[in-house]
């Protein structure tokens, strides 16, 4: 099994949602990652809230789910939803390197380990989607130091299906599973909300409708420009670059 084979399992060609699958972490997988996962056996954490509403989700094909959970927890929880009829769409967009600000290795290992789970699930082309995000993607600026690899990233509106596409394919509600509504995601959820998609959150182990407040610079070109200036893309298409040491610029006199 190599990273191309692993990607082909996650990016199932039968699904209408596959075009949104990000290849960045799959491209970053190495043979060592795959061998390491084959050697370890870890107890998978369960999302109790997801378990409590799984019967409701299983019988409702009109709900798309966004899992904005820390690291591998997003993948592990997503696999539970895959078992009841959802298709998983990884949106992880920060790549891997030494001295990386966000440790994406646990996510890579979870994706590798989850491959065999997905292999044993029959994918229905119009299954509702579960979008996987890493809640740690927006680390604070204090973590940005010379010599570190800045692989922080954000999710932009074009990284997810439009509200029209969701509705055309039977989606009427979007369930967010997260500890908070992060700023970048609020720009997407507000667009969905404006297009009459209900936004749901989990409260007391129940799905409840909520209202997403408009973030600053909503639908503004300034927002997109400021984001792309803060987070740098690399040649693989994902986010990540080595923060230079100011001393390396020289600039002295004489």
Is 180 within a domain? yes
Reply yes or no on whether the pLDDT at 109 is more than 70: yes
Better pLDDT: 54 or 104:
104
Does any domain span residue 251? no
207 contacts 56 by C-beta, under 8 angstroms: yes
Question: What pLDDT does residue 168 have?
Answer: 96
Structural domain containing residue 113: 3-244
What does pTM read for this prediction? 0.89
Query: Does residue 219 lie in a domain region?
Result: yes
The first and second tokens of residue 40, run together, are: 């370890």
Which residue has better confidence, 105 or 144? 105
**Position of tokens 């959970």?**
69
| Section 209-226 average pLDDT | 86
Percent of the chain with pLDDT over 90: 58
The verdict on residue 209 lying in a domain is: yes
Tell me if 132 sits within 8 A of 90, measured CB to CB. yes
253 domain residue, yes or no: no
Whether 254 is in a domain gets the answer: no
Would you say residue 250 lies in a domain?
no
Count CB atoms within 10 A of the CB of residue 212. Answer: 20
Residue 252: pLDDT over 70? no
Is 218 in contact with 4 (CB distance < 8 Å)? no
For residue 254, name the pLDDT band (cuts at 50, 70, 90).
very low
What band does 141 get if pLDDT is binned at 50, 70 and 90? low
Contact by Cβ (8 Å): 16, 169: yes
Chain CA centroid to CA 55, Å: 24
Q: Cβ distance 96 to 28 under 8 Å?
A: yes
How many domains does the chain divide into? 1
Task: Give Cα separations from 97 to 94, 152, 239, 243 (angstroms).
Answer: 10, 12, 11, 12
DSSP state of 245: P
């Amino acid at each position: 099994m190599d990273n191309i084979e692993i990607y082909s399992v996650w990016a199932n060609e039968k699904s209408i949602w596959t075009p949104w699958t990000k290849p960045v972490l799959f491209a970053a997988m190495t043979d060592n990652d795959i061998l390491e996962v084959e050697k370890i056996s870890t107890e998978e954490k369960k999302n109790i809230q997801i378990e409590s509403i799984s019967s409701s989700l299983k019988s409702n094909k009109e709900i798309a789910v966004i899992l904005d959970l820390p690291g591998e927890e997003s993948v592990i929880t997503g696999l539970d939803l895959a078992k009841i009829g959802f298709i998983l769409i990884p949106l992880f967009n920060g790549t891997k390197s030494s001295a990386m600000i966000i440790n994406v290795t646990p996510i890579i290992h979870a994706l590798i380990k989850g491959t065999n789970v997905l292999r044993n699930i029959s994918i229905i082309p119009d299954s509702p989607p579960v979008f996987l995000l890493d809640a740690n993607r927006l680390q604070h600026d204090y973590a940005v130091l010379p010599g570190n690899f800045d692989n922080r990233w954000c999710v932009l509106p074009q990284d997810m299906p439009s509200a029209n596409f969701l509705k055309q394919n039977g989606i009427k509600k979007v369930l967010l599973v997260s500890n908070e509504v992060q700023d970048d995601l609020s720009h997407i959820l507000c667009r969905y909300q404006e297009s009459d998609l209900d936004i749901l959150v989990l409260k007391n182990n129940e799905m409840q409708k909520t209202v997403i407040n408009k973030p600053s610079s909503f639908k503004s070109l300034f927002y997109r420009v400021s984001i792309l200036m803060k987070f740098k893309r690399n040649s693989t298409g994902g986010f990540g670059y080595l923060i230079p040491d100011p001393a390396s610029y020289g600039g002295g006199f004489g």
